[in-house]
Homo-oligomer: A and B are copies of this chain.
Amino acid sequence: MRQYETFELQFVGEVLTADYAVIPLVAEFTNSAESKKVYGFYDGEGVYKIRFLPEKPGEYIWKVSGAVNAEGHEICEAADGEHHGLVKAVDTHFEFEDGKLFVPFGTTVYALAHQENALVEQTLQTLKAAPFNKVRMCVFPKDYDYNHNEPPYYAFEKKADGSWDVNRPCLAFWHRFEAILDRITDMGIQVDLILFHPYDRWGFDTMSQKDNLTYLNYLLRRLSAKPGIWWSLANEYDLSQGKSLSDWDEIERYVAENDPYGHLLSCHNCFCFWDAERPNITHASIQTKALTELPRWIDKYKKPVIIDECCYEGNLPHFWGSISAQEMVYRFWRCVASGAYCTHGETFLAEDEVLWWAKGGLLKGESPERIAFLRELVESLPGPLTSLANGGMLTLAQMNDEEMETALEPVPEKLRDFVRSIAASMRRMEVDDRTAHIAGEHEWAAHAGEDAYLWFNDRQCFGEQTLPLPEDKRYRVELIDVWNMTRTVLEENARGATKLRLPGKEGLAVLATRID
């Protein structure tokens, strides 16, 4: 047993052929500080397994009861330095349990596990060389444009009437699925595991709520002790035809309550965002292109925000699947320079219908190389980035008179009437018009305390720019060409208001890092 690594107990017992999803099998792991109860699962052919994730080193005693009765003890060695535990949300960023910062640079391969072995192998090889440290993928197979194939296995056996028997998980599926998950997490890539999704022709999206919970029960018994997995309740929960909002509430609660370790937990929207202020939700996992609103949402949720779909690099005849590599790279920079995180996807038309976003295979686009450049830059910073903006103009429009006067206190007297008149003008607008009108205006700026400041100038072609650096610190200022991946030092020893001459083109960023 070693800290942050899955510990497994295995027993042989009665062979089960029906109702083996939710079995009476529980274990208690106790160390000097606490006792944790975990449920075991049936793994076929009379094999019963219990998995446990030790989060502290030291001695554990364990006691198994139910279908199997046994007890024992283990010395848990301290972490080996290569395993860091679960990723957790800390304020508006992520850290592993050992305190190591985790900055998500995700990609999307929804139906990764539902492809033939050769394609899965190719996908894993591609991931190994790619700059991504998180992959969004589904438990259930995908039915959609370019996704017409049958998967090798399904999560359940079928009843005589052809419907899914959630009480009989298909063990061939789970063995293969777990092996793929393990291969991915062993590469240091987090699996953002999508538990339900609406793109379905098999009936997985329209199971009864009782069956939904049985499925989750078995999945949580099997997978909870694996530290590299996050729970994404759904891809586009709001397009599901089979579940009401109260069903989703219950699913969220059920996952949170039956996960002994508190894996990251979120729920991904198509339109209406799942409310990230809910206590069980650890971070926002949003689909949107409205990236200017990120500081406002981060400020509201006070949790990390990942833009898990911002459209995909590709050439499909769909808005969501036809952004350029450049635009994909810019969206990553917009997120990062807002103190948020972004997720990649790729959708190029292909004769063989193998599109990375669903099936994996090879990456064909030009964005991953630039995302690698950005990731390297971000990981070299002394801490997590948070936005320098405070919600900006839209927040101003939303204030009432009292909030406005409080906000005006630091504003010089002679400017206050001007700000009041701007706010009054915005408040007269219909909310839809106002938001559409204001939301485009944005400075993408973030900082790591006073140690680093990052401005992404996006498509603005500034010929000059004045950085408001602290007066009492010293900074190296670099100009970054986000597409051409160059970094040029503009100032070696800057402080205070620092005026830069810039080349007046799109796609530049400015990074100031402290040197004293």
Contact = CB atoms under 8 A, between A and B. Distances in A.
A505 interface: yes
A200 B209 CA distance: 66
Contacts of A398: 432
Q: How large is the interface on A (under 10, 10 to 19, 20 to 34, 35 or more residues)?
A: 35 or more
Interface in A289-341: 289-290, 292-293, 297, 314-317, 319, 322-324, 326-327
Interface stretch (A52-60, A136-144, A456-464): A456-464
Given A425-B271, A425-B272, A432-B431, A462 B317 contact: yes
A436 B270 contact: no
A47 to B, nearest CB: 42
A440 interface: yes
Interface stretch (A11-19, A123-131, A415-423): A415-423
A353 interface: no
A148 B462 CA distance: 22
A398 B272 CA distance: 14
B271 A422 contact: yes
Nearest to A422: B271
A505 B324 contact: yes
A317 to B, nearest CB: 5
A264 B326 CA distance: 42
A110 interface: no
A460 B321 CA distance: 8
Contacts of A439: 290, 435-436, 439
A348 B463 CA distance: 8
B324 A459 contact: yes
A289 B437 CA distance: 7
A24 interface: no
Contact of A322 (B315, B316, B394, B462): B462
A484 interface: no
A417 to B, nearest CB: 7
A506 interface: yes
A258 interface: no
A505 to B, nearest CB: 7
A380 interface: no
Contacts of A327: 459, 506
B436 A241 contact: no
A433 interface: yes
A502 B417 CA distance: 53
Given A289-B441, A433-B273, A461 B418 contact: no
B464 A421 contact: no
B425 A431 contact: no
A428 interface: yes
Contact of A272 (B239, B290, B314, B428): B428
Contacts of A394: 432, 436
A496 B129 CA distance: 46
A460 B324 CA distance: 7
Contacts of A212: none
Q: Which 3 A-B pairs have the closest CB atoms?
A: A315-B463, A315-B504, A435-B435
Interface of A: 238-239, 241, 269-273, 288-290, 292-293, 297, 314-317, 319, 322-324, 326-327, 348-349, 394, 398, 417-418, 421-422, 425-426, 428-429, 431-443, 459-466, 502, 504-506
Given A272-B428, A323-B461, A349-B463, 18 more contacts: A238-B422, A239-B422, A239-B425, A270-B425, A273-B429, A273-B433, A289-B441, A290-B436, A292-B436, A293-B436, A317-B466, A319-B443, A322-B463, A324-B459, A324-B506, A431-B431, A431-B435, A439-B439
16 contacts: A238-B421, A270-B422, A270-B425, A271-B425, A272-B426, A293-B436, A297-B433, A315-B463, A315-B504, A322-B462, A323-B460, A324-B459, A324-B506, A394-B436, A431-B431, A436-B439
